Amino acid sequence: MIFDPVHKRPDAWLALTEAERARGKASDDLCAIALDDQRARFFVRCVLPVAVDGQTHAFAFGLWVEVPEAYFVWYVHHFKDPAQGSRRPIACALANDVPGVPSTLGAPVLLLLVDERTRPQIRVPDEVTHPFLRACRDGMSACRASALNRPYRTW
């Protein structure tokens, strides 16, 4: 069985000291980092669905994306809005490195809202050439999905 791997926070949050984290805010869905000497950064937790050959259940990576401040503010105000899925996808960047593949940090993706009950989805644009992201978009074997899942297992 393949379990959905999840990143609990964006990598930028995990790199902060406790004192720096005290100046930011993070939940299971949203994260904002405001350091005195840097521009503020904003993140949304999403899922990256992966088609797995021979599986009916969609496998998904729980990843964070970095979004512009204006979008973040809009999303916070529309978090429980059932019509949020009518908004066009926005360009953003992955905010986690996925173990076992070339760096995914900063890779360009799209954030797609679904509805107020569903975590936003990550879509991989056609022009993206990163091998991991292409495989997520186009599908992969169960063996490959299982191998990518291995670093996330805690048992």
HEC profile of 28-54: CCEEEECCCCCCCEEEEEEEEEECECC
Query: How much is the pTM?
Result: 0.92
Do residues 41 and 69 lie in contact, with contact meaning Cβ atoms separated by under 8 Å?
A: no
Structure tokens at 6: 């999840």
pLDDT in tens, 5-32: 899 999 999 999 999 999 999 999 999 9
The mean of the pLDDT values for the chain is: 91
| Residue 18 belongs to some domain of the structure | yes
| Residue 80 belongs to some domain of the structure | yes
Cα 80–chain centre separation: 19
| Residue 2 belongs to some domain of the structure | no
| Residue 85 belongs to some domain of the structure | yes
| Residue 138 belongs to some domain of the structure | yes
| Residue 3 belongs to some domain of the structure | no
119 to 15, 22, 146: CA distances (angstroms): 24, 26, 23
Work out the average pLDDT over 64-83: 94
Number of independent structural domains in the chain: 1
Assess whether pLDDT exceeds 60 at residue 2. no
Structure tokens at 112: 């797609």
pLDDT tier at 1, thresholds 50, 70, 90: very low
| Residue 30 belongs to some domain of the structure | yes
Domain assignment of residue 122, given as a range: 11-152
